[in-house]
Chain A
């Protein structure tokens, strides 16, 4: 039993633990940064749905965003504030995800030969890969519409409405966006409920059931709301 004795002596009681240095603090960081994304997505989706109001209304809105708060804010002032907030949230979210993933890996270095999942949803088990997929999509999306302004039809890129319609006239572009919205929907389905739980808002069976239902609603409304635009272009409901 000597090996047991040495093993036990390695294991000590810690002194001076801090709430801010805990795994739960990392989870709180994920939850709050995730909710910042969620708030942004709701506004972004609202903006996108303006496409149904027609060419002029949509471009007007895009233009308005840039002049918002003038003259108190400079041109694109609001957009830059939003961009900085989102960037900070992204760094916090991804950094916490990486640290927590590392800890989870280290907590089980020897795998089971047989392991069944009986209660967890597919969304909950794909948070890390789903998050990565969303990240890659966001990079692509920014290159497409914001930084690079790629028009796969070869048309002009300085007219937001026409760039959008031209883009989603291309079937594979629509497929990329729809897959991304599937990944986003799944991430939000578990993420919303998980954030409620992490924030300590689900202390009864009833509030737990409500949070799970809210997760479904958020996932369907957000992913569905975003998906509506490329689908409408593809099916010719929104045209130039």
Chain B
């Protein structure tokens, strides 16, 4: 396909869409789908057919505020309906052209106002199974215009200029990484997309892969051109079967219209992508373990250097980026590096998607400019803690991150600020906890996770996490001593220093951050044999040790 053909197609898609008086978009992402969005779509289809009105009913990816689902948005008015059931379909269709059905309507303007959508720009607007829908919203324009107008170096320059940093957790500058792989010696290179999304409680990458699969593929193809690779792999966790089938279909469609394959856009550029399935091992999100897994082996990480950039898949130079990192690429190429650079904070540019969950009114996906305060995310966008409870902490970064206490939420979200507070940006899980959560128990939960997920290759991580878990259990159950706290801190330092890969190196973070900000809670368990949140089953020993 040439750029002219692509533009023609985009125009005709937009023209076809404009023929409809109304577009009824039905969110069919996991949260809404699990509450009958499929049946709602069918009912809407029938109601439209019966009404004789000129309406397009479209299924879309995640619209964001999942706790209000099933959601339907009617365009062009942008009327949002919440908590729908199939029996509401007739009413909604009947109301098209007159006043919206007010009792089903919801006003989430405050929720949406603080958000800026780059990665999620298509979420809620396209049918993920239709490549035409993606093309209609400027999809693949970046890829084809780049192929005709830009050199690989020019692409890398633009990504560097944007200031984009890896969204998989570490925040490594993306342009720098691309440049390194591009310069690495060797004819065969690979592009790998990390879709393992191991952080339990995060689902941004799932939603992007399911809701806008072509965006990821386009980002990977651009990367392939920039670094000189003709083959890519997407590694998707097995728990996401829908992401796998959406990506499979998207790859097939992209090949069919010549956006993947040989001589793309009549140039010498060849590129194709294969999907590889994970098999339920958290450590496989770590890049060297992930590569081992793609090669069909156990997901054991190895020491770096050599970094994958010089020796990755089958020993070849390999670029690994996260799903959301790739999802940012096409807009940067389209709009320029400066455009991206102008969003965000000093050293963290652009936007970040967070999966906002836990004890918060508006759970779901949000995309915010970097630098926005955590407080604004929680209170304005998230709608605060429901049920009269008090906000206690926000967890970011999953098992590698930490708990940020309620009194520190004025800080703006950036890689550096979160690190300074003892947490990390992570991939985007943001779990809100209220006064009903016990921080000792939370620390124990994460340690249990790391203990189970440790691959066992290095001793500090394998044995250290198990020992820390024992100590945390002892404390939670009321058998701990103050010396145990010291021992725990000691172990944290050792495991952090001496572990082979990021899993062990970051496993102490949840403990360290809760010890730092919620030490009193640990002491309550130890000294007074009491769990302030009333979660832990603390055994009351009569002869309390002084």
- Whether A and B are associated in the same complex: the answer reads no
Name A residues whose Cβ lies closer than 8 Å to a Cβ of B. none
